[in-house]
Homo-oligomer: A and B are copies of this chain.
Amino acid sequence: MRVTGLERKILVIVGDGMADRAVPELDGKTPLQAADTPNMDRLAREGSVGLLDPIRPGVRPGSDTAHLTLLGYDPFEVYPGRGPLEALGAGVEVRPGDVAFRCNFATAEERNGELVVVDRRAGRINEDEGTPKLAETINEEVDLPVEFEFKEAVGHRAVLVLRGGDLSADVTDADPKRVGKPVKDVKPTSDDPAAARTAEIVNEFVRKAYEVLKDHPVNRERERQGKPPANVILPRGAGQLEEVEPFSDRYGMSGAVVAGASLIKGIGRMLGMDVPEDEAITGRKDTDLKRKAELALEALDDHDLVLVNFNAVDEAGHDGDARGKVEMIERMDRELVGTLLEGIDPEETVVCLTADHSTPVAVGDHTADPVPVAIWTADARRDPVEEYDEISAARGCLGRFSGLHLLNVLRDLADRIEKFGA
């Protein structure tokens, strides 16, 4: 006899890059061990705890590949590269077959017939300084043999999407990555004729964009103010989107992703999930975490699963800032986890707290170390673990398991998964 048909909702809280290693200035503790985190610890104390390999042991995850995994998609099968995800994150439509690039607005000078990059970020130009106008002009005046969409993103960043059959992502970057170097001629990296064609189109785009930007009123004005003009666009990180089964089809659940970082928003959109936007959610330290928690709770009202990501913890890891990371973790505990818990009934919801990967402050980049996971719902098994951190987690009742299985584990606790067999 089946006692209940619970159909709980699922809330996944991700502290981006939150896990770490032994930090000398924290007396050999990790930032999670050193931080005061009463709300995270409550999830550990009242829930089931374990160690999660975001992808698999010894694989250094990107935030994008790790989030795909946490959402039940094997990144070795579906990862499209960063270009399409950034484009989706910036709100541009990317369809299967499209090739997308991350771009910089940059400053170049003509020297002996070459375009030499003198500032890769065009003096850190941003939306308020006119990047939307520059993008508009490019879309209106540049003419290419394929359909394209160019859009400004955060700060000096932008995205370019090429559309219209017979395209390939097997092309090099136009971005020379260093100042003093000429804009690179984009070249095919495979024998596929589509790669040669795509490379030619990107080179044409770079040339034509320069022609319409170099005397653009926005740049004239910047020059008058003594600022470097944003006169060249540097595409890089080509990626082609393939057909992906939407999250709702694959798992029979509606889903939303609440995030500020465009990469994570791009993941949500790639999987056909809702990605609510809010000006207070920036993907940086200045983000309004309480507002983010409220957005996630609102999304949980009309979605079966909500993933909420806090990116600034990862930034502190990349900066090698141990104290800053502790501070960000404590802020996340108070403002994000605390606010969320006030609005959650564990009878009706499965809450999962985890990280997408480790970003040890001593390394300043993502590593493959496993991350702690706490799963909290009314009938979750309780183990003796009372704190949420990398070391305590290893003593939890979930043991160590792969992130590829996490979503199904949560669906099981949410009573949303079929029995295999009789």
A residues in contact (CB < 8 Å) with B: 1-4, 6, 21-23, 28, 30, 51, 53, 55-66, 75, 79, 82, 85, 263, 318-320, 360-370, 378-384, 390-391, 393-402, 405-413, 415, 417-422
Q: Considering only CB atoms, which chain B residue lies closest to A409 in the complex?
A: B58
What is the distance, in angstroms, from A234's C-beta to the closest C-beta of chain B?
Answer: 17
Bound CA–CA A61/B382 (angstroms): 22
Which residues of the partner chain B approach A412 to less than 8 Å between Cβ atoms? 58, 60, 367-369
Chain B residues positioned under 8 Å from A401 (CB to CB): 53, 57, 400
Q: How far is the CA of A422 from the CA of B79 in the complex (A)?
A: 11
Q: Report B-chain residues with C-beta under 8 Å of the C-beta of A263.
A: 422
Q: Is the CB of B408 within 8 A of A59?
A: yes
B379:A383 contact, CB within 8 angstroms: no
CB of A320 within 8 A of CB of B3, answer yes
**Inter-subunit contact A420/B55 (CB<8 Å):** yes
When C-beta atoms are compared, the residue in chain B nearest to A315 turns out to be B1
Q: Is the CB of A22 within 8 A of B382?
A: yes
A-B contact pairs, 17 of them (CB 8 A): A6-B363, A23-B379, A57-B401, A58-B409, A58-B410, A59-B420, A60-B418, A62-B421, A65-B420, A75-B421, A363-B379, A368-B412, A383-B394, A391-B397, A394-B395, A394-B399, A399-B399
Beyond A58-B407, A62-B420, A263-B422, 13 extra complex contacts between A and B, CB < 8 Å? A28-B382, A57-B409, A60-B419, A60-B420, A61-B419, A62-B422, A362-B379, A365-B419, A367-B413, A368-B417, A391-B397, A394-B398, A398-B400
Which residues on B sit within 8 Å (CB–CB) of A408? 57-59, 368
